Structure 1
Amino acid sequence: MTIDLAVIGGSGLYSFPGLENTTRHGVDTPFGKTSADVVIGDFAGKRVAFLARHGESHGVPPHRVNYRANLWALHSLGARTVIGVNAVGGIRDDMGPRAIVVPDQVIDYTHGRYTSFCDAEGAEVKHIDFSEPYTAALRRQLVDAAGQAGIAVIDGGCYGATQGPRLETRAEIARMKRDGCDLVGMTGMPEAALARELELAYACLALVANFAAGCGDEAEISIDEIFAHLKAATAEVPRILEALLKA
């Protein structure tokens, strides 16, 4: 099977708008069940696979996502290029609600997750080069595609991956800012590292839903506002990916 692009949807993106002639694929993996069936269809003249990271009803919290099964399933179906769409909080001043960012670095603060396919019994131990956690060429293509679609995106930034599902304290965000993080999310890792182990081209399209704790003017983060901002940013995703596929 030929798949031109695989998309992993985060919070707010549970199906792919505009995907036609779809088929659903439940994939048995050595690592258990995927978050949802993989939906494959036609979009912008190409074959696109979509997988809802949290399930199609947002029933899987970030620390319980079976990242290994999800990536393995997409790879086994023929995907070689993957875009991870991630809802995030903004730490840097210019990364406020509804901003779209294509990050270029990651700091991993998660714990207790299966972070490697090497964890499987008898698996080959791979020491991947993770100096650049996202595929540079694919990042550039995403940024260029957004420009062609007339959508402003921020090129570069450091994604700090936290455990979730709770949001972070002000002190935690202050530490992350000192560490050099520009964004905070809960699902960026180990997804990026697992993609690298499978030799997939992988990039992240980070949608800013809110300012992180202590970074905006609001004293308290409103969940209703988060999903309103997320809905607005998510609406731009199909246009960016259409331009990417047409390029």
Structure 2
Amino acid sequence: MKVASGQKPVIGVIGGSGVYELDGLTDTRWQAVESPFGPPSDHLLLGSLNGIEMVFLPRHGRGHRLPPSEINYCANIDAMKRAGVTEIISISACGSFEEALAPGTFVIVDQFIDRTINRKKSFFGTGLVAHVSMAQPVCRRLGDALETAARGLDIPVHRGGTYLAMEGPQFSSLAESELYRSWGCQVIGMTNMPEAKLAREAELCYATVAMVTDYDCWHPEHDAVDVSTVIEVLVRNAGNARNLVKAVAPALSERTEACSAGCHHALDNALITAPAARDPALARMLDAVAGRVL
């Protein structure tokens, strides 16, 4: 799919079940989308919000079946692109490394450090090599819109910061938590890498809303993070997440040109393999992701 001037934006949301249960979402249908990269986490939920096309994907599958390391991130992003998505809002739980970023705060991050080790991180490979820039890994246009919407709803929000992506599924040791704090990271999570890298390769606008659920394990006045604590705060955050998606959708739907931040042209100078040397089979797999440049 190509993103062109005048193309109507389609807003994709990757997150949990609490996010896609939106009041006012109509014409909803769960649709299977086949990907050459394997099965995505679940069917996609397609619908319309006051005339705005929306696509939702439960990152872990309905019922939270998939741990972070076993999510097929390539299939998820490819399926979203095949469904016509042009911009992605990623909503996920995270731990906080700063006192001021208390549970309930929404952090609109602008940088990542990728510490994951067991995940396929690129659509490209032998026979079709590409290198995209990740200097600015999230779309500032989406970030601006999300910040404005969150402040309008009086949601505690912090703009900017670095998200440390860990492999999991275990939470951090105290030594790891202190190390990542010394690096200047603001939040920690398990799911936004390689998701953000793949969204960039697929020429999709991408922004992360990291919902703080805990203080990881560094804070001397708070217990070490556990699942019950995370779920309790997640339930409280879910309403704010739904309200944020509803509030930001109209602003994102107003775009009439390709993204001003360059997201929709991320592959312009990325392909390295000469056309005559490209693997036809891999090129066919990339028909949605890289069709614009292939």
Question: Under a length normalisation based on structure 1, what TM-score does the superposition of the two structures give?
Answer: 0.93
Match for residue 202 of structure 2 among 198, 203, 210:
198
1:74 alignment partner, one of 80, 103, 106: 80
Number of residue pairs matched by the alignment: 244
Please give the alpha-carbon distance, in whole angstroms, between the structure 2 residues aligned to 1:47 and 1:232.
Answer: 27
What is the CA distance between 1:216 and its match in structure 2?
Answer: 5.2
Structure-to-structure mapping, 1:7-22, within 5 angstroms? 7-10=13-16, 13=18, 15-18=20-23, 19-22=25-28
Aligned residues of 2:18 and 2:239 also touching (Cα < 8 A): no
Q: Counterpart in 2 of 1:45?
A: 51
Distance in 1 (CA, whole Å) between partners of 2:50 and 2:95 is 30
Does the 8 Å contact 1:102/1:154 carry over to 2? yes
Report SS of the residue matched to 1:219. Answer: coil
One of 110, 113, 132 as aligned partner of 2:116? 110
> Residues 75-104 of structure 1, C-alpha deviation per residue, up to 9 Å, x if partnerless?
011001000101101111111211111001
- Whether the aligned pair in 2 keeps the contact of 1:87 and 1:185 (CA below 8 Å) is yes
TM-score (structure 2 length as normaliser): 0.79
Higher mean alpha-carbon deviation, 35-44 vs 212-221, is at: 212-221
8 Å CA contact retained: 2:20, 2:242: no
In the alignment, the residues of structure 1 paired with residue 153 and residue 50 of structure 2 have an alpha-carbon distance, to the nearest angstrom, of: 13
Contact kept? 2:87, 2:205, Cα under 8 Å: yes
Q: Distance in 1 between matches of 2:58 and 2:76?
A: 9
The 1-side partners of 2:77 and 2:18 are apart by: 17
Displacement of 1:21:
1.7
AA aligned to 1:17 is L
1:125 aligns to 2:112 (yes or no): no
Larger radius of gyration: 2
Choose the corresponding residue for 1:215, options 216, 219, 231.
219
Query: 1: CA distance between counterparts of 2:219 and 2:184?
Result: 14
Note if contact 1:207-1:234 (Cα within 8 Å) is conserved in structure 2.
no
Counterpart among 8, 30, 35 of residue 36 in structure 2 = 30
Provide the rounded CA distance (Å) in 2 between the counterparts of 1:235 and 1:152.
13
Q: Supply the distance in 1 between the matched residues of 2:50 and 2:221 (Cα, whole angstroms).
A: 40
Counterpart residue type for residue 79 of structure 1: V
Question: What letter is aligned with 2:73?
Answer: Y
Alignment of 1:160-239 (within 5 A): 160-215=164-219, 217-239=221-243
The one-letter code of the counterpart of 1:213 is C
Q: Structure 1, residues 12-59: CA drift from partner, whole Å, max 9, x if none?
A: 647432232211111111110000000001224311100000000101
Q: Which moved more, 1:140-149 or 1:192-201?
A: 140-149
Evaluate the alpha carbon distance shift between residue 166 and residue 13 of structure 1 in structure 2; reply closer, same or farther with a 3 A threshold. Answer: farther
Tell me the residue number matched to 1:151. Answer: 155
Flag the 1:216–1:85 CA change in 2: closer, same or farther, 3 A: farther
**Structure 2 residue aligned with 1:61, among 52, 67, 87?**
67
Q: 1:14 to 1:236 in 2, by over 3 A?
A: closer
Does residue 95 in structure 1 map to residue 101 in structure 2?
Answer: yes
Cα distance, 1:88–1:63 mapped onto 2, change above 3 Å: same
